[in-house]
A and B are shown apart, each in its own frame.
Chain A
Amino acid sequence: NAGVTQTPKFRILKIGQSMTLQCTQDMNHNYMYWYRQDPGMGLKLIYYSVGAGITDKGEVPNGYNVSRSTTEDFPLRLELAAPSQTSVYFCASSYSLARGTDTQYFGPGTRLTVL
C-alpha cells in the first residue's frame, strides 16, 4: 500500500494564480482531511469529507474549495492565491471518527509559497 500520496511536493505561485493540490489514498478510508501547518503552529483543518460526494468546512476554509467524487481522491483547489496561503498542506485519511481507536494517516505534504 502506498498509503496517502500528495502531489506536488513543492510549488511556487504568484498572487492571483490558481492551483489544485492532489491527494489520493489506497486504504479505502471513508474520511479524508486537508490541513495547513504554519511555522511553529499546529495543524489547522481546512476541509474534510466523510465519504464520496460529502464535504464540510473545517476551521480555516476561506480561499479554498474541495470535491470528493471518489473514495480515493480528495483534491484541494486554491483560487486567487494570496501570500497568507503560504504554508505546508497535509492530506490525511481515516477509516472513521466514530471509534475510539481510529487514527489518521498523513501524506508527506505540499510546501506552497505564494509570492
Chain B
Amino acid sequence: KQEVTQIPAALSVPEGENLVLNCSFTDSAIYNLQWFRQDPGKGLTSLLLIQSSQREQTSGRLNASLDKSSGRSTLYIAASQPGDSAAYLCAAHNYGQNFVFGPGTRLSVLP
C-alpha cells in the first residue's frame, strides 16, 4: 500500500528566500506525482505534475523533481513571496490505483 509523507509539517521563511519542500513515497511504481496548493478554506489546485518517465517539471518560480529509486520528490520555490503562503500537498498515483495524498506542508512567507 502506497504511503506518502511530507517534511516539514510547517515552514516559515522571510520573503525572498529560496526553499525546498519534501515528499516521500513508499511504492516507487508510480504513474505520476503531483504537487497541489491549498489556500485556507479552499480546495486544492494542481501546480505541477511529473510523469514517471520525467525527472522534473518547471512552472515559473516552481520546480518539482522526482527520484523514483529513492522514493522522493522535492518542490523548489525560488524567491518566495507572501502570496506563496499556503499548504502544499503532494500526491502519488500508482498504476491501477487512486491518488494517495501526503499530509502537506504549511508554508508561511513573512514580509
Contacts and interface: CB of A to CB of B under 8 A. Distances in A.
Interface of A: 4, 33, 35, 40-43, 45, 48, 58, 90, 92, 97, 100-101, 103-109, 111
B42 interface: yes
13 contacts: A35-B101, A42-B100, A42-B103, A43-B89, A92-B43, A97-B31, A103-B34, A103-B46, A104-B44, A104-B99, A106-B44, A107-B43, A109-B43
Given A97-B93, A100-B32, A104-B99, A42 B46 contact: no
B63 interface: no
Interface of B: 4, 9, 31-32, 34, 41-46, 49, 51-53, 89, 91, 93, 98-104
Contacts, number: 54
A43 B101 contact: yes
Contact of A90 (B9, B31, B43): B43
Contact of B51 (A40, A42, A97, A100): A100
Contacts of A92: 43-44
A42 B89 contact: yes
A42 B42 contact: no
Given A43-B44, A97-B98, A101-B51, 10 more contacts: A42-B102, A90-B43, A100-B31, A100-B51, A100-B53, A104-B99, A105-B46, A106-B44, A108-B41, A109-B41
Which of B52, B93, B98, B100 gathers most chain A CB within 10 Å?
Answer: B98
B49 A45 contact: no
Contacts of B31: 97, 100
A103 B49 contact: yes
Q: Which are the 9 A-B pairs with shortest beta-carbon distances?
A: A106-B43, A42-B101, A100-B51, A43-B101, A106-B44, A103-B46, A42-B103, A108-B43, A100-B32
Contacts of B52: 100
B4 A104 contact: no
A104 to B, nearest CB: 7
Contacts of A101: 32, 49, 51
A45 B98 contact: yes
